[in-house]
Amino acid sequence: MLKINNNYDHFKSGFIAIVGAPNVGKSTLLNRILGEKISITSEKPQTTRNRILGILHRNNAQLVFVDTPGIHKAKRTLNVRIVDIALSALADVDIILLVIDASKQDMNSEQILMQKISHQKTPIILAINKIDLIKKPTLITLIDKWSKEYSFKDIIPVSAKNGTQVEKIVESIESHIPNGPPFFPQDYLTDLPEKFFVSELIREKVFRYTGQEIPYSTAVTVDFFSEDKNNSIIRIHATIYVERSSQKAIIIGKNGSQIKKIGQNAREEIQRKLSTKVFLKLFVKVEKNWSKDTKALRKFGYE
């Protein structure tokens, strides 16, 4: 990506890939850094499926973060595509921010991930997240262990949930990115369109209000998005796709109770995001085995 101009001798700018295993808090950390929610979250792993770009404007720097899906051993076609999306984000960044979950007992996923990224010449900063869930001796042991694993530019214990030491991560990144002009105008928070955020917020509510395999068999498209300036309202029609009729019944719920709950909570958050009234109409359709179909994956934006 080309920078805007070449007249910023005392300014820094760079791209930072946030990587880690599923459910370590990458999206929560990005939202905390930016001070605004641009990446959806849930307690379920593999909530993030796409690269989410967030831009932090500092007095003398612009940090462009790329939140990536959790890297894991993938078998399903969708999961393989998701991991490919995550790894592709490492190709042209200035810093890799590796996030691990301090409360996890099994670090096998992290070890596999380190094997994938340790050959990169890109500097790596390690963020040990969720320190609010462990005691100090455990943290000291973790820092000692990981400092022997790789020559990180920095190792920073944080709590993305509480904001503990998040500013220290930003300062560390800023100290390691190169000099150069900004990539984006000052008023940009992301380069993603509004329709993308709408579909993501709806999918987030599916993750939060349904259980078992339902969220992982769900895709969302925004089929109609129109702003009525006279009435100060945005009208949105969106479709939730599932793979089986039984899943459709669960999404809809008894007498439509579940789809109403998903729609109401999504609408409220979309309204806050867009700062205007929203009319949201949801549909549920079955697209059999879409997560295994490469054509369907392209249709739903998983390139």
CATH number of the domain at 217, please: 3.30.300.20
Structural domain that includes position 288: 194-299
**Residue 143 falls inside a structural domain:** yes
- Residues 71-79 have a mean pLDDT of 67
pLDDT in tens, 221-252: 999 999 987 778 999 999 999 999 999 999 99
Sign of CA dihedral 107, 109, 115, 118: negative
Per mean pLDDT, which range of 81-90, 98-107, 156-165, 183-192 is the poorest? 81-90
Co-location of 26 and 170 in the same domain: yes
Confirm whether 228 is domain-assigned.
yes
Residue 30 and residue 170 in one domain: yes
Tokens 């109409």 — which residue? 281
In this predicted structure, the answer to whether residue 82 has a pLDDT above a threshold of 70 is: no
User: Does residue 272 carry a pLDDT above 50?
Assistant: yes
For 148, phi then psi, to 5°, come to -90, -15
Confidence check: pLDDT of 5 > 60: no
CATH number of domain containing 134 = 3.40.50.300
Residues 26 and 166 in one domain: yes
The answer to whether 221 touches 265, Cβ cutoff 8 Å, is: no
Bridge partner list, 112: none
Between residues 214 and 129, the one the model is more confident about = 129
Q: 116-125, pLDDT tens digit by residue?
A: 787 878 999 9
What average pLDDT does this structure show over 26-31?
Answer: 93
Q: Report d(CA 61, CA 177) in Å as an integer.
A: 9
Phi first, then psi: what are they for 167, rounded to 5°?
-60, -35
pTM of the model: 0.83
Tell me: do 137 and 211 sit in the same domain.
Answer: no
Give the model's pLDDT for residue 4.
Answer: 47
**C-alpha separations of 218 from 5, 59, 281 in Å:** 42, 41, 17
Percentage of residues in the chain having pLDDT higher than 90: 60
